[in-house]
Amino acid sequence: MKKTLFFLFIGLLLLSACKKHETYVINVLETTDVHGQIFPYNFIRNDTAYHSLAQAYTYIKKVRSNTSQATILLDNGDILQGDPTVYYYNFIDTTDEHILSRVYNFMSYDAATVGNHDIEAGHAVYDRLRKEFDFPWLSANTVRTDNGKPYFTPYTIIKRGKFKIAILGLTTPGIPHWLPKNLYSGMEFKDMIKTARYWAKYIETNEHPDILIGLFHAGHDWTYDHEDSSQCCNENASLLVAKHVPGFDVVLIGHDHDKFMTYVVNDKGDSVLVLDPASKARFVGHATIKMIWNSKKNCYVKHIAGQLVVTDSFKPDTDFMKEFWPDFMKIKKYVSDTVGFLSAPLDGRKAYFGDNAFLDLIHKVQLNVSKAQISFAAPLRFNAVIPAGPITVGQMFNLYKYENMLYTMRLKGSEIKNYLEYSYGLWLDDNPQKDGHLLKFDKDGHRLKGRYYNFDSGEGILYTVDITKPQGQRITITGLTNGQPFDTAVYYTVAINSYRGNGGGGHLTIGAHIPQDSLASRVIKSTDKDIRLYIMQYLQKQKVYNPSVDNNWKFVPEKLAKKLGQKDYQILFGNKSSN
């Protein structure tokens, strides 16, 4: 008996000594806003891409190869839009298993959060992915309208060694401002802070995790688009949750495509690591959580550090490329198919400096499909250029980036004018003669301050934009292009994409002063297919398309606008002229 007690005592001493120096390392890796960038190839430009999931996977395997440490792999949403690869499996080949479920299962993701562009793909697509994923797809604040319960999985528990790690998923609640209701029928999106408070408490009470991680598809700038921290359903509330909802150790974010890393001190004085690895698999977010035994406190203490790892320094993983090579070749063939023929180039860079053929094509299609009187549209890629010659399916994604539907809305003449005043207010310098710029630049003087995809121009109306006047007084509408007069008291039919028609950018709500909850009543009809498809069909019918400009609007004074425009064009694109 004495001998047994002796060895037991020695064993306890050895266990205590081991525990005294014990450190357990958990690597948490995050991708976000991949937008279909699976392969190291740009199917739109038909050339090499220097970042992709194939390269991110090389780094992921490297981290996993250290078997003395644990690894958790997470994705933060927006995987179902932005590239011909995912478009093909979303809407063209809907019978085979989706490429994204095969890729993400191959990479052994542990969990992912739903993004707004994933909802944009529609029920048929994301409901299909939910079944095909080998891991939970999270979104605690996306709830069913019939019973208030989460539509997706709210959180998941992952065990690594002796530790329990809880992952809570949240999705930006701004979706109703951007997407048609049929895409999220039976669902609503709750405030992130209130939802996080409920589930953080629930998880603590019921799961007792050692580590709590937030996986939030929302950005860090809660002031974006004129929002503030106190309002309900802030689009980018990630930092607000990190600060005001105690319990989180790490908050992984996305949505805004910003490379971002910081520590936030929450309301209880604890430090929270926040990581945002931008978009398109350019970076992998890497949080290193060290669980270090503290003998004095008789518990583990956490040491958490973060980094954003650039992926373009890694070669594509050979196993990955071998596994999905047939898909790569299938997409390459798909994007190479010819849609039509351009007799002259379409240059989207000219859209910032006056009426132009690039946007006029979009306007033509919108008016043709909707039969509306007026059309609004903006450039959806910053510097898109489509050369003369055959136009391919891949180039269509350069011409029109998003899967927006086409709305026909009923707007009053005064609302149309205010809409344009707001749009050009985002676009133009407030004091061009003093500042020497036509466009509104950021403080560095080299980047546009506004978001180019919010720079809407109009078609179907004749108007001028006086750059020397203040916002609200710049637009003069002289009539419709069909020769009829324009009346601010008359209602007109307007062709507009679904993002804008649901309030995206603020043109209708802030500019035209239409209440958010009244927008749906202004929609006369909507297409059931995306605008890009209608443009493609239009070009197929034309066979040879001759780009043209109808010059229904212009900047005045013309001489000053041209001079400043040439200067700004050179700053943005490195060429001497905007003509």
Does residue 6 surpass a pLDDT of 70? no
How far is CA 40 from each of CA 37, 311, 327, 431, 522, rounded to the nearest angstrom? Answer: 8, 11, 13, 44, 43
What is the structure's pLDDT at 40? 98
Classify residue 316 by its DSSP letter: P
User: Do 52 and 191 share a structural domain?
Assistant: yes
Please check whether residues 446 and 504 belong to one and the same domain.
yes
Region 473-486 average pLDDT: 98
The rounded mean pLDDT for the chain is 94
> Is 324 in the same domain as 355?
no
Q: Is 1 helix (H, G, I), strand (E, B) or coil?
A: coil
Between the alpha carbon of residue 391 and those of residues 94, 363, 535, the distances in Å are 25, 18, 12
Coil, strand, or helix at residue 566?
Answer: helix
Picking from 331, 363, 388, the residue at the C-terminal end of a domain is 331
The pLDDT assigned to 225 comes to: 74
Residue 422 sits in a domain whose CATH number is 3.90.780.10
What pTM, to 2 d.p., does this model score?
Answer: 0.90
Q: Is the pLDDT of residue 575 over 90?
A: no
Give the residue-averaged pLDDT of 159-186. 96
Q: How many domains does the chain have?
A: 2
Judge whether 578 lies within some domain.
Answer: no
Residue that is last in its domain, among 331, 358, 381:
331
Q: How confident is the model at residue 228 (pLDDT cuts 50, 70, 90)?
A: confident
Last residue of a domain, one of 331, 361, 392: 331
Q: What is the CA radius of gyration of the chain?
A: 27
The pLDDT score that the predictor gives to residue 576 is 57
Q: Is residue 141 part of a domain?
A: yes
Alpha carbon distance 367, 106 (integer Å): 44
* Displacement of CA 218 from its chain's centroid (Å): 9
Which pair of structure tokens corresponds to residue 2?
Answer: 């004495």
505 in the same domain as 425: yes
Residue type (1 letter), 218 = A
CATH number of domain containing 213: 3.60.21.10
Q: Domain check: are 199 and 248 in the same one?
A: yes
Contacts for 337 with CB less than 8 Å, ≥ 6 apart: 392, 393
Same domain, 347 and 467: yes
Residue 135: give the domain boundaries. Answer: 21-331
Q: Does residue 3 belong to any structural domain of this protein?
A: no
Region 383-404: mean pLDDT is 95
* pLDDT in the model for residue 11: 47
- Residues 347, 325 share a domain: no
Is 384 in the same domain as 314? no
Specify whether 302 is located in the same domain as 426.
no
Rounded CA-CA distance 85/556 in Å is 43
Q: How far apart are the first and last CA of the chain?
A: 97
